[in-house]
Structure 1
Amino acid sequence: IGLNAGAAFGLIVFVTYFHALEGNPSLLIPLFTFGGGLLAAAVIVLLAYDRQEGLVPIRLILVGIAVAAGFSALTLFLSLKLDEDTYTFASRWLVGNVWGRDWIHVLALLPWIVCLVPLTLMQSSTLNALTLGDAVASSVGVRVQRQRLLLLTLAVGLASASVSMTGGIGFIGLVAPHLARRLVGSLHQYFLPVSALLGLLILVSADTIGRSIFAPNAIPAGVVVAFIGAPYFLYLLTKTK
């Protein structure tokens, strides 16, 4: 829904001011990507919100596609103003790459994962209720619009933190959940952790393939994931009624 594009915009803003993605300043990267993701989410909510129906998921997706295109254009515009070396490094980062990360990047990402992942898992029962429809969820005591905004904020935080360290590898978010649902069903107390583990497995496998099979000219993990994920996603579309 455009969160990755907003986070990538925040990353480019960071690079524009600090001209580096390494060292102590890299601890600030998640803050900038979260700001970009939050800005994208605010624009999406503003454009998708309906006074009578509130936030409708399908409208969020459609508006998110348009907002993602807009933020991608802004990201490209700012990146063209970088010097050649910084632009090359930033572009490889944005396309999705984990090679060359250091412990400083782990420290920058760790607080976001430790805080937000448990909060997200605690929302499993709410997510289960929302899958039954807004009316049913409301009837069992779920404050639909309030919870949807909370879940959107958690998604912004997790997506932005991930983009800050690995770039925008969007197809993991499309492929891993579908595989997890086939394995454990739709109950979110099982579905969410399995999705996360599958996403981790896909990322590590893509990075290994990109660096080993295509050596010495390593291919970023994001390119490998897109190459594998796009056909699978098209397969899912053809099989979905």
Structure 2
Amino acid sequence: GGLLFFARAAAATAHRMLLVGVAIGTVFSALVTALAASGDPRLDGLLSWMAGSTLDATPQAAGVTVAAALCALALAPLVRRWLAILPLGPSTAQGLGLPLGGARLCLLLLAAGMTSVATLAVGPFSFVGLMAPHMARMLGLSTPLAQVSGAMLMGAGIMTFADTLGRLVFFPYELPAGLIAACIGAPYLLLALTRQPQGG
């Protein structure tokens, strides 16, 4: 909600949306630091959640997440035209009759809703969200519907791999899956950036 409000107030562009997101993230990081300094007994649970741990995930949370994923798959065909046209630029999109503001808002709300459900269940998996779409494009998936479906499957695979590895590396102790995903994702993204053409 805050992101949408400030983005609209700042005449949202990709760079401004990024800056707004960074600013909001900084505020919440400060709140977490303040909580850590207070010695609140709830801190352990919060830190575990922030690391992206599946240890406390419940069947109810898993069921809600599956339902949200199925809803996303059902809605993807309805918005694939928007996803295909928006990358062409605002002028072209409007020329093709796309309701630019409404389409962006609907897609942003859909993405935010799906992300929120997954984050509430197991915590933030930022690098999975960054890696999965990139890997889907690398596989040659070019249409919006194929990219969305491929990214969902890639994300699920990365998360499952990270969770399994986190349970085995220091058995019987468990490392958070989000930490493992970050250790894999950061080098991958740095490598992908160094291999990307300068003009790309």
TM-score, structure 2 normalization: 0.88
Residue 200 of structure 1 aligns to which amino acid in structure 2?
A: A
RMSD between superposed Cα atoms in Å: 2.0
Unpaired stretches in structure 2, ≥5 consecutive residues: none
Q: Aligned AA for 2:4?
A: A
Q: Which amino acid in the other structure matches residue 74 of structure 1?
A: L
Deviation at 1:184, TM superposition (A): 2.8
1:227, CA displacement in angstroms? 0.4
CA distance, structure 1, for counterparts of residue 78 and residue 170 of structure 2: 41
Alignment partners' CA distance in 2, 1:120 and 1:57? 22
Does residue 90 of structure 2 align to residue 90 of structure 1? no
Instruction: Read off the aligned partner of 2:59 and give its amino acid letter.
Output: W
- Match for 2:4 among 23, 42, 53? 42
Residue aligning to 1:189: 145
SS of the residue corresponding to residue 16 of structure 2 reads helix
CA change 1:114–1:216 in 2 (3 A) is same
Does 2:15 align with 1:58? yes
Find the aligned partners of 1:90 and 1:82 in 2 and give their Cα distance: 12
Q: What are the superposed Cα offsets for residues 145-186 of structure 1, whole Å, 9 maximum, x if unpaired?
A: 211111111111011111000101100111111100011333
Is this contact kept in 1: 2:141–2:150, CA < 8 A?
no
Residue 70 in structure 1 maps to residue 32 in structure 2: no
- Give the gaps of 5 or more residues in structure 1: 1-37, 50-54
Deviation at residue 97 of structure 1 after TM alignment: 1.2
How many Å apart are 1:99 and its aligned residue? 2.4
Contact kept, 8 Å, 2:76 with 2:145, in 1: the verdict is no
After superposition, what is the alpha-carbon deviation per residue over 1:181-236, rounded to whole angstroms, capped at 9, x for unaligned?
01133321100000000000000000000001221221100110000100111112
Q: Percent identity?
A: 32
Q: 2:63, 2:37 → 1: CA distance?
A: 30
Q: Per the alignment, do residues 186 and 204 of structure 1 end up closer, same or farther by CA in structure 2, a change over 3 Å counting?
A: same
The one-letter amino acid of 1:156's match is: A
The letter of the residue matching 1:215 is F
Which residue in 2 is equivalent to 1:151? Answer: 107
CA contact (8 A) 1:44 1:67 kept: no
Matches within 5 A, 1:25-36: none
8 Å Cα contact 2:127-2:181 kept in structure 1? yes
- Alpha carbons 2:128, 2:159 under 8 Å: kept: yes
Letter of the 1:147 partner, please give it: A
Residue 82 of structure 1: how far off its partner (Å): 6.9
Match of 1:14 in 2: none
Rounded Cα–Cα distance in structure 1 between residues aligned with 2:29 and 2:9: 18
Checking the alignment, whether the CA contact within 8 Å between 1:120 and 1:151 is kept in structure 2 is no
1:80/1:87 contact within 8 Å kept: no
Which whole-Å CA distance do the structure 2 matches of 1:231 and 1:102 have between them? Answer: 31
Query: Residue 235 in 1 paired to residue 191 in 2?
Result: yes
TM-score after normalising by structure 1? 0.74
User: Contact 1:44–1:64 at 8 Å: present in 2 too?
Assistant: no
Q: 2:173 aligns with which of 217, 230, 236?
A: 217
